[in-house]
C-alpha cells in the first residue's frame, strides 16, 4: 500500500514501476480512503502501543493506493524493496531509503508474512477485484 504521504508526494507510479520491473505481477489496485473501523482492524496488532492512535489518524487522513502483487517469494521481495521501517536505517535503493525521512511518514506498507497478506487483502479487496491472468514475460522471470 502506498500510504497517504506517498500519494500526496506523487510516488505511486514510482512504487508500481519498481515492483513491475522486478518481475512481480500486479493483480489488484485501487485508490481508497480507509475508514477508521477498517484501519483499526488492519493495524490491530499495534493496539495499545504509543503510536497506535496517531497511526490510525494518519492512515485515514487521505487516500492510499492498495495493491496486491504476486510472484515468487513476493512477500520477502516486497519487504526487501521497501527497506527498513525507519527510513534512517533503510538502505539506499529501497523505497524508504530513497524517499522517506521519518518512520511515521515512510511512504509504503507491505505485509510481513503470507498470513498477514491474506488478512490484509481480505480487509481491502473483494474476491472479484483480484484478477487472475498470465504475464507474457512469465517464462523469462522464473525458471
Beta-bridge partners for 32: 64
9 marked as binding residue: no
DSSP state of 76: H
Enumerate long-range contacts of 134-142, CB under 8 Å, 24 or more apart: 135/25, 137/23, 138/25, 141/23, 141/71, 142/23, 142/72
CA angle 60, 65, 69 (to 5 degrees): 130
Confirm if 123 and 111 have CB atoms less than 8 A apart.
Answer: no
79 marked ligand binding residue = yes
Reply yes or no on whether 109 is catalytic. Answer: yes
| 60 annotated as a binding-site residue | no
Q: Which of 46, 50, 102, 109 is catalytic?
A: 109
Q: Hey, what's the cell of 29?
A: 489496485
Q: Residue 3, annotated ligand binder?
A: yes
Confirm or deny that 51 is annotated as ligand binding. Answer: yes
Q: Which residues pair with 26 in a beta bridge?
A: 69
Between CA 13 and CA 33 the distance in angstroms is 18
Binding residues for ATP: 3, 51, 79, 85, 96, 106
Give the catalytic positions in this structure: 109
Amino acid at each position: 500500500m502506498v500510504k497517504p504521504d506517498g500519494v500526496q508526494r506523487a510516488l505511486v507510479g514510482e512504487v508500481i514501476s519498481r515492483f513491475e520491473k522486478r518481475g512481480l505481477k500486479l493483480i489488484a489496485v485501487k485508490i481508497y480512503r480507509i475508514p477508521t473501523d477498517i484501519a483499526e482492524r488492519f493495524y490491530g496488532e499495534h493496539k495499545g502501543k504509543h503510536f497506535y492512535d496517531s497511526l490510525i489518524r494518519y492512515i485515514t487522513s487521505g487516500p492510499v493506493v492498495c495493491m496486491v502483487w504476486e510472484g515468487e517469494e513476493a512477500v520477502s521481495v516486497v519487504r526487501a524493496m521497501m527497506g527498513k521501517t525507519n527510513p534512517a536505517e533503510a538502505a539506499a535503493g529501497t523505497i524508504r531509503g530513497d524517499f522517506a525521512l521519518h518512520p511515521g511518514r515512510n511512504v509504503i506498507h507491505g505485509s510481513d508474512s503470507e498470513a498477514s497478506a491474506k488478512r490484509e487483502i481480505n480487509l481491502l479487496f473483494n474476491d472479484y477485484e483480484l484478477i487472475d491472468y498470465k504475464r507474457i514475460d512469465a517464462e523469462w522471470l522464473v525458471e
